[in-house]
Amino acid sequence: MTAEDAIETIIGRFGRYQTWILFLVTLGRFPAEYQLVNVVFILPNVEYVCMDEQSYNVSNHCPCNNPEYDKTYIVNSVTSNWNLICESRQLASLTQSMLHVGILAGSIFYGHISDRYGRKLACVMALVCEVLFSALSAAVTEFWMFVVLRFIIGTGLGGTMLCCYVILIELSGKSFRPYLSALMEISYVLSYFTLPIIAYFVRDWRHLQLVTSLPWSFVLLYYFLIPESPRWLITTGKKEKAIEVLTYIANKNKRPTENIRAIVEKIQGEANSVDQKQFGSYLDLFRTPKIRTYVLLTACVWSCCAFTFFGINQYIGKLQGNIYLNVMLSAVCLIPGLFLVVLATLYLRRKVGVVTSFIVASGSLLVIIFIPKHVDTVQLVFAITGQLGAYTAFMQIYLFTSEIFPTIVRNSAMGFVSVFARFGSFTAPFVVNIGIEWVSVTIFCILAFLAASLCYFLPETKDIVLLNTVEQTEKFKNKKVTR
């Protein structure tokens, strides 16, 4: 394989047009990111005073048929709306779990749509799904309706996380990919930071759902604003459409267009000479030995990473004090990770960067085990350090995984491994709630180290051109990377 990225030669590494698409995607993802982080405001653990005759004015008493909720911070929530307290408390957990089940289903569904029908369609469908069903969830009259919509919102969230990332990766040149890992997280960090500000002024959960969704109805227009991935078009045999898209982007970036047809025909000729298949599927992930090995290894890494990241979040727990300030503080603590990831992807090999992040997470957790319980501040510092390590690992494995798999099955592979990440996020709370702190921390520590170890068996992908077909991946041999 040549070290030159032909697509980058045509449209540039990341010009004005790609910057415009990044802006659109970042802006359009806000409703999805809000749904991912809004659980603390719409499904909080609420304080209440029981007004039953036999337990009048007793705080947080169970059972209780007539609770009077504390409205100091949140006036109305899903919890208080349907009295998800006492024996119904597990229904609140079910509701949040349904979001993650939806993410799992959405990763599979939109991964298939993206590889079969195009990145653009899948991306726009997922963004519109978030706006539509988040707004509809504000109007439900029954709890089961909210649970169902929470699942559907999750499917859109899974699709958004997956498809928006892949389309930007495929629109950029190989030399710019290190920056995308951090740039794609801007929407998450900004939504995490701005949500408590919005929630401070909008303290009813129904209004909050509307305010964080309906203003983004303009994502319907994205179908006319976001281009199809030229890499996908070439891989699926749509040569003329690929030439049209590449010419348009090249003109926007003020780059020459006279050799585009010849370059596209050369790329397509290389792809067709090794693989006649135009569309990928989940079955293709297991047909050949290298792809099969890579998908199983990355699935385990993603699962361990999600397990560790969400587990540390649960372990840190809720900070004492103002709920709005606490959430903003949590968001601020993630900002350094954006810069660290850029530096790691620029100056370190992919495996070195990912493994280092996992080792930081694992090492921080190991230290926590030996810190005396009464030294709260030191425990918190190492817990946040571990969280930062797991967060930076998560950002880097998105890029790492997208580079490992070829274009024809890239979204399917990302969707498949995302499923295993959901398994990790499901099980983390149960481990946190074991009741023996050092046991919980030790499990998270071991799995972070396991993820680091598994990365050793994956190929190095720094500075490679994105491969297009399964056959190319099977034949590809890693060259030594000096940086």
- Please check whether residue 137 is in contact with residue 149, taking contact to mean a CB–CB distance below 8 angstroms: yes
- Please check whether residue 80 is in contact with residue 46, taking contact to mean a CB–CB distance below 8 angstroms: yes
Element (H, E) at 187: helix 186-201
User: Residue for token digits 């990332």?
Assistant: 165
Radius of gyration of the chain (CA): 23
pLDDT of residue 478: 61
Class of domain 280-478: mainly alpha
- Write the CB contacts of 104 (distance below 8 Å, at least 6 apart in sequence): 154, 158, 418, 419, 422, 423
Sheet (strand 58-59) strand order: 58-59, 48-50, 67-69
**DSSP bridge partners of 69:** 48
Q: Tens place of pLDDT for every residue, the chain, 483 residues?
A: 445 778 888 888 888 999 999 999 999 999 999 998 888 888 887 888 888 877 788 888 888 888 888 888 888 999 889 988 887 877 877 787 788 889 888 988 998 898 889 999 999 999 999 999 999 999 999 999 999 999 999 999 989 988 898 899 889 887 787 788 788 889 988 998 899 899 999 999 999 999 999 999 999 999 999 999 998 898 888 889 999 999 999 999 999 888 888 888 887 776 555 444 556 667 888 889 999 999 999 999 999 998 898 788 767 654 455 677 777 777 788 888 888 988 988 888 999 999 999 999 999 999 988 888 777 778 778 888 888 899 899 889 988 998 898 888 887 888 788 888 878 877 776 777 676 778 888 999 999 999 999 999 999 988 887 787 888 888 877 654 434
DSSP secondary structure code for residue 436 in this structure? -
Is 1-279's fold the same as 280-478's?
yes
pTM for this structure?
0.78
pLDDT of residue 6: 83
Single-letter amino acid code for the residue at 239? K
Element (H, E) at 268: helix 260-274
Strands annotated E in 56-164:
58-59, 67-69
pLDDT of residue 482: 39
Please name the CATH architecture into which domain 1-279 falls.
Answer: Up-down Bundle (1.20)
Buried b (16+ CB within 10 A) or exposed e, 438-471: eebbbbbbebbbbbbebbeebbbbbbbbbbbbbb
Spans of all domains in the chain: 1-279, 280-478
CB atoms inside a 10 Å sphere around CB 370:
7
Report the number of secondary-structure helices (H) and strands (E) in the chain.
23, 3
Q: How many CA atoms lie within 13 A of 452 on its CB side?
A: 21
Q: Give one DSSP letter per residue of 169-185, joined into a string.
A: HHHS-TTTHHHHHHHTT
Largest CA distance in the chain: 85
pLDDT of residue 278: 54
pLDDT of residue 260: 87
User: Residue for token digits 């569309």?
Assistant: 279
pLDDT of residue 2: 44
Single-letter amino acid code for the residue at 474? E
Taking only the tens place, the pLDDT of each residue in 443-452 is 999 999 999 9
Pull the structure tokens for residue 187: 């929407």
User: Residue for token digits 């620029």?
Assistant: 346
d(CA 114, CA 122): 5
SS (H, E, C) 240-253: HHHHHHHHHHHHHC
